[in-house]
Chains A and B, each alone.
Chain A
């Protein structure tokens, strides 16, 4: 807390404890400075049910609980003091992980999963650097107005024409984004670029490469910042995979591996062997990972050929129509771009899924299939390139059957996640969702504000 205290201008009146649940919502509570000091080492009690509440506040049922879950037990959220920042005058913010009473990590804690996989990479001598491109859509209406309209028929901030890279967006849109990056600067989140994206009101905000755990922290906090700025300016932002029937939004992950500071994905003549094995693992696990990186019902509505997201389990050098794009030939910037995730993901779980695929490829020395040098959309259905699972249920089945992801994410997490998606699927179908609509009101209500 020393650094924060040293630079603060207003005494700290509260500390906000933060961590994501499985859905990716940033959950927490505000504690007094005295309470924080008393509990910062031992942790703070949270009910285990936070991992079993859906986005409509229903208890998720349908699976056998592990031993650490009972009739709503407490688990400990232990803050990671390296994440402590002055969020705004009077309020500090700290991110933590969930731990069991015996000192072991909660097996389904998203942040701990990333930490475990980063450690596994370190055992192989690698450090990972990751970055994310966050897409979000901004609306003129306040969140109160959006709620009153059922999150439908809202007015895109900055005009109703689709555009990309245009600098002529109206000043309300620009003012929002400038306020966002100013807040990011204040809380120490390094960003690289922002621009308008393909859809009306849509932006893309790129966070700088960093280690995966820190990237998850920055990503989760950036979404919080974007919401807070929206509230302050009387606008709304949504990270739904498709906030309107027309346009989707993703969250591409860029990843490279270093050893002793040297990019191991670089080779003079194309992908290095390590990059190839990473691609091999990412593709071998992609069907199952889809369940994690496309977590909600609406996520699957993005999977339309020619509209941006990948639709096939494919890779290619500098091929943005493939699911994994390999950027090669540069000693520093050689990397993989994993293009499947939606904007609606849990940041940590998505990073965990990517790292798990990379680890599987490295450890199994998995050679990738031939790269796709044509357009990876609309490919003939001849079995040469598999399509990405296009429903939540198909993706869940693929994850349940994936031995590689089970090995790296753990059976407990996989079983928990598959059960949680089955609950989500059941809720959608039986409680008002419409699979035959372009975007049903059930989805707007459930996903517009959270995660």
Chain B
């Protein structure tokens, strides 16, 4: 009997873990919860997030922001670091959770959480479509989102929605995908190459939309 030459289908995905954040959560807790939730939904870092236990402190490298992730059947995210964690990671919250120093404690646990917090971004067009869809309920949100992308293969454009009011965003594909998914901060992105065309009021509303994407508020 020869060895099979076809690739076996992947095993059925075991029961997914879920993410729970505390009530009245801080922006960092919300950001972590959203990112981990996305990682679970996309299947990113499934093994790392399925660990039976372990606590990881996540600290900002330049502000007092801190939170604790507790792995388990439910991944819990709470503000602050109230007990000695199994591992600590210090990250750049404006750099998509990039570590700024060597993690301390359980190196495997820390590496797993860092990996989970840095899922690959979807293509900008997919991210923009989802952003547009999910921000419809925000009062004052423009009807149409026009995206001009300065990509390596030349300019691209996307238009999402129909209606009388329009907002335009221009910038590098990766940065725009970061803004649309919440991986990047919108107002910080304005200093990093994203340009906008719209009213001041629309900028204000787009800020709210970006918070929805980044913090789910």
Q: Which residues of A contact B (CB under 8 A)?
A: 59-65, 69-72, 391, 393-394, 415, 419, 422, 426, 429-437, 440
Contact = CB atoms under 8 A, between A and B. Distances in A.
B64 A63 contact: no
B16 interface: no
Interface stretch (B96-104, B128-136, B200-208): B200-208
B100 to A, nearest CB: 16
Contacts of B120: none
Nearest to B23: A394
Given A64-B205, A65-B140, 20 more contacts: A61-B208, A62-B208, A62-B211, A64-B139, A64-B201, A71-B199, A72-B200, A415-B139, A430-B63, A430-B93, A432-B63, A432-B64, A433-B63, A433-B64, A435-B26, A435-B79, A435-B80, A436-B64, A436-B66, A437-B64
B204 A426 contact: no
Interface of B: 24, 26-28, 63-66, 79-80, 93, 139-140, 187, 199-201, 203-205, 207-208, 211, 217
A70, A391, A435, A440 — which one has the most chain B CB atoms within 10 A of its CB? A435
Contact of A429 (B26, B139, B200, B205): B26
Nearest to A432: B63
A63 B200 contact: no
A429 B65 contact: yes
Nearest to B204: A61
Contacts, number: 65
B64 A65 contact: no
Q: Which of B27, B201, B205 has the most CB of A within 10 A?
A: B201
8 contacts: A61-B187, A61-B204, A64-B205, A65-B204, A426-B27, A426-B211, A429-B26, A430-B63
A411 to B, nearest CB: 11
Contacts of A436: 64, 66, 79-80
A437 B199 CA distance: 39
A70 B207 CA distance: 16
Q: Which 9 A-B pairs have the closest CB atoms?
A: A64-B140, A434-B64, A65-B201, A61-B207, A61-B204, A62-B208, A429-B27, A71-B200, A64-B139
B94 to A, nearest CB: 9
B201 A440 contact: no
A434 B81 CA distance: 12
Contacts of A393: 24
A59 to B, nearest CB: 8
B64 A61 contact: no
A69 B201 CA distance: 8
A70 B199 contact: yes
A190 B199 CA distance: 46
Contact of B203 (A61, A391, A429): A61
Contacts of B139: 63-64, 415
Nearest to B187: A61
Contacts of B187: 61
A67 to B, nearest CB: 9
Nearest to B203: A61
Nearest to A67: B201
Contacts of B24: 391, 393-394
A316 B82 CA distance: 38
Nearest to B63: A432
A421 B14 CA distance: 42
Nearest to B205: A64
A184 B165 CA distance: 53
Contacts of B66: 436
A62 B217 CA distance: 11
Contacts of A60: 204
A221 B205 CA distance: 35
Nearest to B208: A62
Nearest to B62: A432
Contact of B64 (A59, A422, A440): A440
A363 B64 CA distance: 47
Q: Which of B24, B66, B139, B203 has the most CB of A within 10 A?
A: B24
A65 B208 CA distance: 12
Contact of B208 (A63, A72, A394): A63
Nearest to B215: A426
A76 B143 CA distance: 32
A393 B27 CA distance: 11
A211 B104 CA distance: 62
A122 B165 CA distance: 43
Contacts of B203: 61
A63 B80 contact: no
Nearest to A390: B24
Nearest to B207: A61
Nearest to B60: A430
A167 B63 CA distance: 44
Contacts of A70: 199-201
Contacts of B217: 422
A61 B210 CA distance: 11
A423 to B, nearest CB: 9
B65 A64 contact: no
Contacts of A437: 64
A116 B68 CA distance: 48
A70 B204 CA distance: 11
